[in-house]
């Protein structure tokens, strides 16, 4: 006999297994950091992404083995409605109720038709508001300088993390830290008896750094901060900087970064604490930043539904040059773009749909190094037809008809990518003054350098494929031609031996599909002579074939670049 209680417990057990394995691989980060095993951290970060889907599919297989082929018909709706109710009751005092809800939704949505995707069967609306709130204090520890003094309190905080590696000179680092705090937060009360430190119990690991995150609570208010900890080759650890500006903290937690590895028993409490430090970050962005990208999808979808319920605006085609692979649209009041793979590509794209899917997945699993926008991938997204502008609907029917279904007053998009909206770099330059142009072209060159340092070759480096954020950072967002840098063949342009060869130009030498000629970079990315000159001036290395070849050699030698997600001027000037 089919049992709602048995189904609910089977799904919750599937979630429990997922979370235990997720935390287990996350817990490998401290040891990898202690041994400076950067390859292990990268591998764990990548492998962890696939854990969720594996566990969901395992849970579905278990349900089918227990209950036979599962259907949802007119004779069975009560079974699944009761299952949802029982599952909801099981989460009343669960430490990760929001994640367990999303896991349930994933299992159900892979089993049944989207016509059942409503709050009677799944958790379209979260039930967290009906449950006891998990206190943020469960995720942080408080320290009181009035007891032992400021510097001893900082020593105690560092000792708590037990990095299992000595510091090169911790006393010097503490002096630099206090000095930086006095400079960056002059309005904070600095006497020991006038402050309290709230420090998250676990470091946040990413790439070659561990980040200590907390806040100073004083009579003058709350001052958030981040302190990165780095390795100095084989000599030990050191505190590298103090970040107190909310804008810089948001960049560290940005949408173009790899996910942090951080242990937590209660993600909702951790996200709530982080949200207090960075109120401009959405819960979806913070869940994504700490590795819970499926929960981020759930949070984001709820944000979208809420936005649609509060606006009369319609989705419209996105600004910028039309792409040959994607149809892109947006909702003016919502800071995201929606991308659908076209049915037919432009003649300059000699590949198919599966290649595009694979390349977006490559970026999802790769270190995005702060230069590649994260994407949220959805299937069967239902949008109200009255929210689609006539112009956009016409374009969708013309370019992505095979990805569309119409169900009454709903438009169903079978496969969709969503990214943070930015101003396309080519459009930004049309309105930029001289100073702004210099900043973003420098950023463009730096973005290329940082991507190639982590084995990413963007392929199509046209300015239209890069966006400018509100912080004037330049981010790459078009992945249909992304490849590994090590798969490319970087060549110098052959020098003509005589005047006839010069006139023949490219016809005098052969070009294979993977061949790249860096000397031609500025020729192809822009027709603006001012921009070309500026790029050559600021980043001449990018036009040198040896620079690209050396980057390939570094990757093959497993040299992992340390690309700091905060400005150089914030780094402590250590006297080694």
Is 321 annotated to bind a ligand? Reply is yes
Confidence (pLDDT) at 478:
93
Is 339 annotated to bind a ligand? Reply is yes
Confidence (pLDDT) at 1:
46
Mean per-residue pLDDT, 61-76:
76
pLDDT band at 67 (very low <50, low <70, confident <90, very high): confident
Please name the residues in contact with 336: beta carbons below 8 A apart, sequence gap of 6 or more.
330, 418, 419, 420, 421
pLDDT tens digits, 35-53: 999 999 999 999 999 999 9
Is 543 annotated to bind a ligand? Reply is no
* Side-chain-facing half-sphere of 12: CA atoms under 13 Å: 21
Judged by average pLDDT, the poorest of 162-176, 189-203, 315-329, 454-468 is 189-203
Q: Which of 198, 240, 367, 374 is catalytic?
A: 374
Confidence (pLDDT) at 558:
87
The two structure tokens encoding residue 111: 């089993």
pLDDT tens digits, 401-412: 999 999 999 999
Is 320 annotated to bind a ligand? Reply is yes
pLDDT band at 574 (very low <50, low <70, confident <90, very high): low
Q: For the chain, percent helix, then strand, then coil, each to nearest 5?
A: 50, 15, 35
- Residue matched to tokens 């962005």: 285
Mean per-residue pLDDT, 176-183:
92
CA 341 – CA 375 distance, rounded (Å): 14
pLDDT of 187 > 50? The answer is yes
Helix residue ranges per DSSP H, 278-389: 283-289, 293-310, 353-365
pLDDT higher at 10 or 346: 10
Is 323 annotated to bind a ligand? Reply is yes
pLDDT of 502 > 50? The answer is no
pLDDT tens digits, 206-251: 999 999 999 999 988 899 999 999 999 778 999 999 999 988 999 9
CA 394 – CA 133 distance, rounded (Å): 47
pLDDT of 2 > 70? The answer is no
| pTM given for the model | 0.91
Supply the DSSP symbol for 193: G
Supply the DSSP symbol for 350: -
Mean per-residue pLDDT, 364-376:
92
Confidence (pLDDT) at 496:
64
The two structure tokens encoding residue 25: 């691989």
CA 442 – CA 438 distance, rounded (Å): 6
pLDDT of 20 > 60? The answer is yes
Helix residue ranges per DSSP H, 50-193: 51-67, 77-90, 97-111, 145-148, 150-161, 170-184
pLDDT tens digits, 299-314: 999 999 999 999 999 9
CA 414 – CA 393 distance, rounded (Å): 15
CA 437 – CA 528 distance, rounded (Å): 12
Confidence (pLDDT) at 185:
82
Is 322 annotated to bind a ligand? Reply is yes
Residue 374 known to be catalytic: yes
The two structure tokens encoding residue 327: 């149809």
Q: 526 and 532 in contact (C-beta within 8 Å)?
A: yes
pLDDT of 282 > 80? The answer is yes
């Amino acid at each position: 006999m089919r049992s709602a209680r048995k189904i609910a417990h089977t799904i919750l057990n599937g979630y429990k297994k997922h979370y235990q394995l997720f935390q287990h691989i996350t817990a490998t980060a401290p040891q990898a950091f202690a041994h400076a095993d950067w390859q292990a951290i990268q591998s764990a970060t990548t492998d962890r992404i696939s854990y969720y889907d594996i566990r969901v599919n395992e849970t579905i297989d278990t349900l089918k083995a227990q209950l036979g082929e599962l259907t949802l018909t007119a004779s069975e709706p009560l079974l699944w409605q009761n299952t949802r109710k029982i599952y909801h009751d099981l989460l009343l005092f669960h430490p990760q109720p929001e994640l367990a809800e999303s896991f349930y939704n994933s299992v159900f949505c892979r089993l049944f038709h989207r016509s059942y995707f409503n709050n009677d069967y799944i958790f379209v609306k979260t039930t967290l508001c009906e449950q006891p709130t998990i206190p943020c204090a469960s995720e942080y520890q408080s320290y009181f300088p009035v007891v032992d003094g400021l510097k001893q309190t900082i020593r105690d905080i560092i000792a708590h993390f037990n990095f299992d590696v000595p510091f090169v000179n911790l006393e010097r680092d503490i002096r630099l830290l206090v000095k930086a705090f006095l400079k960056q937060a002059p309005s904070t009360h600095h006497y020991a008896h006038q402050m309290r430190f709230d420090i998250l119990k676990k470091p946040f690991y990413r790439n070659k750094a561990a980040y200590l995150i907390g806040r100073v609570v004083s009579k003058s208010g709350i001052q958030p901060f981040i302190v990165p900890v780095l390795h100095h080759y084989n000599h030990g650890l050191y505190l590298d900087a103090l970040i107190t500006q909310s804008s810089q903290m948001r960049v560290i937690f940005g949408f173009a970064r790899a996910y942090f590895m951080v242990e937590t028993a209660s993600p909702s409490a951790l996200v709530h604490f982080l949200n207090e430090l960075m109120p401009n970050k959405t819960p979806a962005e913070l869940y994504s930043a700490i590795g819970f990208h499926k929960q981020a999808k759930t949070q984001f979808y709820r944000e979208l539904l809420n936005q649609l319920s509060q606006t009369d605006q319609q989705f419209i085609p996105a600004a910028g040059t039309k792409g040959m692979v994607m149809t892109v649209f947006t909702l003016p009041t919502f800071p995201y773009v929606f991308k659908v793979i076209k049915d037919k590509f432009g003649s300059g794209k000699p590949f198919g749909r599966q290649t595009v899917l694979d390349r977006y997945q490559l970026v999802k699993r790769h270190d995005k190094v702060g230069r590649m926008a994260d994407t949220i991938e959805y299937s069967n997204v239902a949008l109200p037809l009255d929210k689609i502008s006539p112009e956009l609907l016409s374009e969708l029917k013309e370019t992505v008809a095979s990805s569309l279904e119409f169900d009454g007053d709903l438009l169903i998009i079978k496969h969709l990518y969503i990214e943070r909206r930015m101003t396309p770099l080519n459009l930004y330059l049309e309105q930029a003054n001289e100073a702004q142009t210099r900043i973003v072209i420098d950023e463009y060159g730096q973005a290329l350098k940082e991507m190639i340092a982590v084995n990413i070759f963007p392929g199509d480096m046209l300015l239209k494929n890069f966006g400018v954020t509100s912080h004037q950072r330049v981010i790459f967002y078009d992945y249909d031609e992304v490849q590994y840098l090590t798969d490319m063949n970087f060549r110098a342009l052959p020098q003509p031996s005589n005047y006839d060869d010069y006139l023949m130009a490219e016809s005098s030498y052969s070009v294979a599909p993977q061949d790249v000629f860096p000397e031609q970079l500025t020729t192809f990315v822009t027709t603006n002579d001012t921009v070309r000159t500026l790029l050559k001036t600021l980043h001449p290395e990018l036009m040198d074939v040896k620079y690209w070849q050396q980057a390939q050699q570094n990757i093959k030698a497993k040299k992992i670049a340390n690309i700091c997600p905060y400005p150089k001027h914030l780094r402590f000037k250590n006297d080694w």
